């Protein structure tokens, strides 16, 4: 488990959507690397390819063909997503297989949930 | 209206949550700067302070006191949030007032919505 995943777990229940309550400094420090990992077009596309994969996981061998990038560059982007706790991976034989971490995406979506605001009277 | 806001508007209806369908390259290029803007602890805290403000907006004069940062540094971070289309601002007299752009936050939350996946049979 990466340190980011640990921080994420420790945040469970402690945070509220940004539209409801300001984040504490330590909460912001835990969430920021996850958003930063999404702040790149290649990583966003990779995440969407992994998250929408029919079988729940994708072989790295099926990801590289969609980009005009070298294998090591794709691997670097996948490592950033993994270290941010957004995807997980398993090596089986020659290939590495990636799957999304739904709890991490749900956490970020919940943080940005503007419908969670109490309607002002 | 910033170019990012224009791109965001042009995306309406064209994208699906990452858990449902891979993003196109141009969609990823439009979304990435918004996530990148959130990928900093100070900007995340600023956004949460603006988004949760009782009156719907916050004077920049009420934001700076919460950080051990200079005014120009805070202003730089606010500019990044504004250029990403996440907050909007008005200058009234001496001060600039910031408010969140709910549609932008909802767009990002929708993109990360893992509950939007069709349940596999």
Asked if residue A118 belongs to a domain, the reply is no
Cβ atoms < 10 Å from Cβ of B7: 17
Domain assignment of residue A7, yes or no: yes
Residue B37 is assigned to a structural domain of this protein: yes
A4-to-A10, A85, B80 alpha-carbon distances in Å: 10, 6, 25
Over the stretch A32-83, which tens digit does the pLDDT of each residue have? Answer: 999 999 999 999 999 999 999 988 899 999 999 999 999 999 999 999 999 9
Residue B118 lies in a domain: no
Domain encompassing residue A100: 3-111
A102 part of a folded domain:
yes
**Per CB distance under 8 Å, which residues of A are interface residues toward B?**
18-23, 25, 28-29, 31-33, 35-45, 47-49, 51-52, 54, 100, 102, 105-106, 108-110, 112-115, 117, 120
The residue that leads in pLDDT, B74 or B9, is B74
B101 in a structural domain: yes
Q: How many CA atoms lie within 13 A of B70 on its CB side?
A: 3
Identify which has the larger pLDDT, A56 or B34.
B34
Query: Does residue B120 lie within any of the structural domains?
Result: no
User: Cβ of B94: how many Cβ atoms within 10 Å?
Assistant: 8
Residue A86 DSSP label: S
CATH number of the domain bearing residue A96: 1.10.10.10
**ipTM for this prediction:** 0.89
Please give the tally of structural domains in chain B.
1
Mutation test of the interface with chain A: which of B11, B20, B38, B100, choosing the one with the most A Cβ atoms within 10 A? B38
B119 within some domain = no
pTM to 2 decimals? 0.89
Contact B51 A18 (CB under 8 A): yes
């Amino acid at each position: 488990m990466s340190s980011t995943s640990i921080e994420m777990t420790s945040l469970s229940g402690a945070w509220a959507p940004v539209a409801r309550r300001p984040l504490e400094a330590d909460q912001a420090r835990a969430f920021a690397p996850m958003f930063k990992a999404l702040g790149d077009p290649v990583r966003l596309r990779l995440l969407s390819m992994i998250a929408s994969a029919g079988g729940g996981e994708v072989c790295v061998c099926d990801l590289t063909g969609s980009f005009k990038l070298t294998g090591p560059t794709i691997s670097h982007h996948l490592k950033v997503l993994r270290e941010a706790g957004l995807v997980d991976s398993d090596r089986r034989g020659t290939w590495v297989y990636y799957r999304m971490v739904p709890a991490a995406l749900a956490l970020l979506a919940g943080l940005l949930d503007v419908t969670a605001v109490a309607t002002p009277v």
